[in-house]
Structure 1
Amino acid sequence: MKHLPLFFDLAGRTVVVVGESPAADRRADLARSAGAEVSRVTAATVKIADFRGAAAAFIATGTLEGDTAAQHLAKAAGVPVNVADRPELCDFILPAIVDRDGVVVAISTGGASPTLASILRGRIEAALPERIGALAKLARTFRAQANALIPDPARRRGFWRRLVEGPAARLVLAGDEAGARRVALGELDAVRRRMSPVGIAHIVGAGPGDPDLLTLRAAQLLQEADAILHDELVPAAILGRARRDAELVLVGKRKGSVGLAQADIEAELVRRVRAGQTVVRLKAGDPFIFGRGGEEVEALRAAGLPVSVVPGVTAALGCAASVGIPLTHRRLASAVTFVSGHGADGREVTWPRLAAQSHTLAIYMGATEAASVRDRLLDAGTAPTTPVAIVENGTRPDERVSVGRLSDLARIAATHTRGDAGPSLLIVGEVAALATVADQPLLAEVS
């Protein structure tokens, strides 16, 4: 290791910055961000007295002569010095820095490749949750209490590990700091009384099927979950992203098949969280778009248990994008409505409003209701020639799309309702004519 990484407390201490270049400005701003008192000096006026009593010096005059002269003065005053882009003149170097509200990560290649350090910084920034600084503040809030109430070092370490990895941490990262404090207090009391603390449930959207469309938070939670209660429609490729020892529990069902009742799913979530598990309820698409995630959140809250929600790419967005259909378009569609095909009998859907021009319909679970959807829209005044598209297994390797006109919707849908058919989304509106269909010309179904 060429350089020893250290973090200095510069609050209230003097840092000298020599030079008037952009590099000098950046170093002055960086020192101020750490609480230092910055003294700016020009290369033409710098003298040894400028450095006396300083904690550090940054030099960026822009010339080798100016940098060398200022460096000699700083060294004579006994002050550690950094010279911009001249590692041979430096006592210390500046790393690439990731700063998340007090959580600081420094990356250095010892001056060998600043570009590599910058690339690594970008990757770390993408991996670190945006609110990780709030988690550090939560830990600081409870540090004195934990040290006082948990004298045993091993149990205290267990408490801290759970605090920064468990339910309280996830609530903080989701923006619920008040909820996180309540959970942390409960866990602190449980540890003190040698009780088992409660866990947490995460209602997570798995997206339309492509594992690469998982959100970063969803991917992180799959690696942290003790148990994953998943829908039938969540593909194996996504379940394969879970922690190897996580328990995978199938609780969903396809339309028309017998599965676990919703009340039983909610009861299982409550039972597992009360037992201290970190549970991911993994739903195809987005939990709050025809996913019944709201009911599960209500059940957990009613039981007084912690819960967070992680949105997913819903089927309408993922499937439409996968086949090149913009759900809104400046010339073709100024509105889009997500609707469930289960409402095709008219009790849940006001079809005349949906039949308006310049309106896109994204109809979930509608392939088996295609005839009713067609008839309702035609009766409401939609033109029979209105373009439609059916996307089966959208975003997945076995994706299949059919295009046609509203008048032929039932016939087109018939090929997407066979016994082994995957989930299908119906798109009705002028934008459906923009679908990209491999080896199939537009509207070939009715040509």
Structure 2
Amino acid sequence: MEFLPISWRLQGKQALLVGGGEVALRKGRLLHRSGAILKVVAPEVCDELRQIVAEGSGKLLERNFENSDIEQCALVICATDDAAENARIANLAGECNVPVNVVDNPSLGDFIFPAIVDRSPVLISISSSGASPVLARKLRSQLESTLPARWGRLADLMARFRQPLKDKLDNVGARRLFWEQALDSPIVEKVMAGKDSEAEAMLAQAIDAADATSLSRGEVYLVGAGPGDPDLLTFRALRLLQKADVVLYDRLVGQGIVDLARRDAEMVYVGKARDKHALPQDNINELLVHYAKQGKKVCRLKGGDPFIFGRGGEEIDLIVQEGIDFQVVPGITAASGCAAYGGIPLTHRDHAQSVRFVTGHRKDGTVTLDWEHLVSDTETVVFYMGLVGLRQICNQLIAHGRQGETPIALVSRGTTDLQEVITGTLESLPDKIEGREIHAPTLIIVGSVVSLHPKFGWFKKSNE
């Protein structure tokens, strides 16, 4: 992150704007709307900028910039058409410890102007860190079209009731949960429909009925994070992740997904690598109960789907015993996500009429499975956690009747930008990857559907 996004209160503060043309005018409009007092310095100043300065009781100096102009200014905007002069003023501002922006040259300044979606008092700023202002404006236009203008009125309504709620609930956590529930209630629709008086009455009634004990009751969210691509997270998963006070996550959850949690949430890494556990499963189960009994909303964020080789049932079992409220949010399991991104349909009328998910995880150094039921030519078999046991899996399938020429795919870090798909046959694939560095997590797909990968592979060129 090259720039820290902040909201800066400028009401009543003097802002120096050097330049008087169209570029300076655009910055002058924003500064005027923010309540800053403009000091404009330029030999020539356009009429609209003159008017803005007058309306804001600012100062207009129709001459070249002088070093003393920077005194008592909260910030400086360099918007002349002279690059060398802009650089000189920016350097002077730095020496005076005054934040400076150089239009069209962000590398010389301390801050940049984002694209803004204005639903005052709600403001959304969008920045490309100066890399592509056009992209930032494009994103702004998309947000403008989806955010109702009345969101500002909703924020004003909530502001008026902040103190009454604080008088009713002295616990800050309970107040946050109240507002979260209010924003999921019909109150919002009343405001959007222009029925402000009805919304106000409903909000007052809700505050009167608010109960800190029930609001502060702990709850556990068992959330499937999907196979890796943050875009595959469900809306419900995202909403609960951002609601959680505590997030327990493991190595199968990508950083892009972890970063979507609330900034003030407590993040607890419990993650497991093969044969190496940051925390034993029993300890994870106990942690969920521990945090929930403190009245916290706890998100157990799990790669894939929590109920498909995710031990979700074990974690929920203890939660149920302790009488703790919980929700389970399904996620796109690795088999579905990795197969789709690898261009391998798990079922296909001409290849496979069923699919079976099995775990290839070793137990006592062996892969113990019901092999004779995994050799149908019309069924796709997907092995989770099978990389170490790959040779044994292939040998056992062949020994129990599956043809050695059966196609097989090994998908590494599926659905991410680092995805790699290695294909071969039951006979050839173990030797093909011998001595090769394969990155977890991996998934193994066996069946004739794998033969469709060269034709259907769309996400990324595989390494074959």
What TM-score comes out, normalization by structure 2 length? 0.54
Matched letter for residue 269 of structure 2: L
Match of 2:359 in 1: 340
Partners of 1:247 and 1:157 in 2: how far apart?
16
> Between the two proteins, what is the percent identity of the paired residues?
40
Any unmatched runs of 5+ in structure 2? 1-141, 149-164, 186-208
Shift of 1:165: 3.4
Residues 225 and 243 in structure 1, CA contact (< 8 A), matched pair in contact too: yes
* 1:350 to 2:370 alignment: yes
Q: How many residues align?
A: 278
Secondary structure, in 3 states, of the residue corresponding to 1:381? coil
Pair 1:414–1:230, CA change in 2 (3 A): farther
Match of 1:431 in 2: 449
Shift of 1:258: 3.4
Residues 251 and 259 in structure 1, CA contact (< 8 A), matched pair in contact too: yes
**1:2-401, aligned counterparts within 5 Å?**
153-154=168-169, 162=177, 165=180, 191=212, 197-342=216-361, 349-401=369-421
Shift of 1:411: 2.1
What TM-score comes out, normalization by structure 1 length? 0.56
Residues 370 and 413 in structure 1, CA contact (< 8 A), matched pair in contact too: no
Pair 1:322–1:352, CA change in 2 (3 A): same
Match of 2:431 in 1: 411
CA displacement 1:162-210 (0-9 Å, x = unmatched): 35737xx89xxxxxxxxxxxxxxxxx89747xx9943111000111100
CA displacement 1:352-385 (0-9 Å, x = unmatched): 1110121001100011100110111011100000
Pair 1:317–1:227, CA change in 2 (3 A): same
How well do the aligned residues superpose, as a CA RMSD in angstroms? 3.3
Match of 1:7 in 2: none
Shift of 1:216: 0.5
Match of 2:422 in 1: 402
Any unmatched runs of 5+ in structure 1? 1-118, 126-149, 171-187
Residues 218 and 310 in structure 1, CA contact (< 8 A), matched pair in contact too: yes
Partners of 1:122 and 1:359 in 2: how far apart?
47
Pair 1:238–1:375, CA change in 2 (3 A): same
Shift of 1:430: 0.2
Partners of 2:297 and 2:461 in 1: how far apart?
46
Residues 200 and 277 in structure 1, CA contact (< 8 A), matched pair in contact too: yes
Shift of 1:412: 3.4
Pair 1:189–1:217, CA change in 2 (3 A): closer
Pair 1:120–1:341, CA change in 2 (3 A): same
Residues 367 and 416 in structure 1, CA contact (< 8 A), matched pair in contact too: no
Pair 1:151–1:387, CA change in 2 (3 A): closer
CA displacement 1:204-251 (0-9 Å, x = unmatched): 011110000000011112211111100112111111111111111110
Shift of 1:276: 1.0
Residues 388 and 409 in structure 1, CA contact (< 8 A), matched pair in contact too: yes
Pair 1:121–1:289, CA change in 2 (3 A): farther
Partners of 1:243 and 1:151 in 2: how far apart?
22
Secondary structure, in 3 states, of the residue corresponding to 1:294? helix
Pair 1:201–1:363, CA change in 2 (3 A): same
Pair 1:152–1:439, CA change in 2 (3 A): closer
Shift of 1:256: 2.1
